[in-house]
Amino acid sequence: MSQHAAPRHLARRLLILVAGLWLAGAAQAAEPTEAQRTAFKQAYATAQQGGDGWKSAASGLQGYPLYPYLEAASLTHDIRQVQRPQVEDYLKHYPALIPASDLRRDFLTELARRQDWDNFLAMYQPGLGDALTCNALQAQMSKGASLDFDRDLAALWSKPKLPSACDPVLGAAHDQGLLTEPRLWDRIERAADAVQPGTINNLAGWLPADQSESARRIASALTDPGAAAVAANQWPDSPRNRQAAMLALERLARRQSVTADIAWQKLEGRFAFTPEQRNRVMYALALFHATDYDASAISRLVALPVSVQTDTSREWRVRAALALQDWTAALAAIDAMPAAQQQDGEWRWFRARALTQTGRASEAQQVLASLAQEPTFFGFLAADRVNAPYGICQLELKGNPQRERTLLANQGLVRAFELYAVGLPRQARREWTQALDGADMETLKQAVDIAYRRGWYDRAVFTFNTGDALRYYEQRFPLASQDGLVPQAEEAGIEPSWAYAILRAESAWMPDARSGADARGLMQLLPSTAALVAKRNGITWVGGDSLFNPVTNIILGTRYLAQMAGSFNGAPWLASAAYNAGPGKVNQWLEARGTLPPDLFIATIPYKETREYVARVMSFAVIYDWRQHGNAVTLSQRLTPIGQTYTLPDSHSERKLVTCPVVAPPTPAEPASAAPASNLPPPASASSTGTR
Tell me how far apart the alpha carbons of residues 487 and 270 are, in angstroms, rounded to a whole number: 66
- Calpha distance 152→126 (Å, rounded): 12
Question: What is the end-to-end Cα distance of the chain in Å, rounded?
Answer: 69
Compute the distance between CA of residue 321 and CA of residue 344 in angstroms, rounded to an integer.
Answer: 18
- The DSSP code sequence of 235-248 is S---HHHHHHHHHH
221: alpha, beta or left? (left if phi > 0; alpha if psi -120 to 50) = alpha
Q: CB–CB of 267/233 below 8 Å?
A: yes
Strand partners, 658: 390
Nearest 5°: the CA angle 374, 377, 381 is: 80
Pick from 15, 18, 13, 76: which is nearest to 50 by CA?
Answer: 76
Handedness of CA 465, 469, 470, 472 (dihedral sign): negative
Among 439, 513, 532, 523, smallest CA distance to 488 is for 523
Angle at 313 between CA 308 and CA 317, to 5 degrees: 125
- HEC sequence for 98-112: HHHHHHHHHHHHHHH
Phi, psi dihedral angles at 36 (to 5 degrees): -65, -40
Residues 574 and 648: beta-carbon distance below 8 Å = no
CB 492 within 8 A of CB 537: no
SS3 string, 132-170, reads HHHHHHHHHHHCCCCCCHHHHHHHHHCCCCCCHHHHHHH
- DSSP reduced 3-state for 36: helix
Residue 431 known to be catalytic:
no
Q: Are 120 and 136 in contact (CB under 8 A)?
A: yes
Rg of the chain over all Cα atoms, to the nearest angstrom: 30
Beta strands in 452-608 (DSSP E): none
Residue 520: what are its φ and ψ, rounded to 5°? -130, 150
Q: 293 — alpha (psi -120 to 50), left (phi > 0) or beta?
A: left
Phi, psi of 514 (to 5 degrees): -145, 125
Task: State the catalytic residue, choosing from 110, 506, 609, 670.
Answer: 506
Secondary element (H or E) of residue 91:
helix 84-93
Bridge partners (DSSP) of residue 514 are 520
- State which amino acid sits at residue 270: R
Active site (catalytic) residues: 506
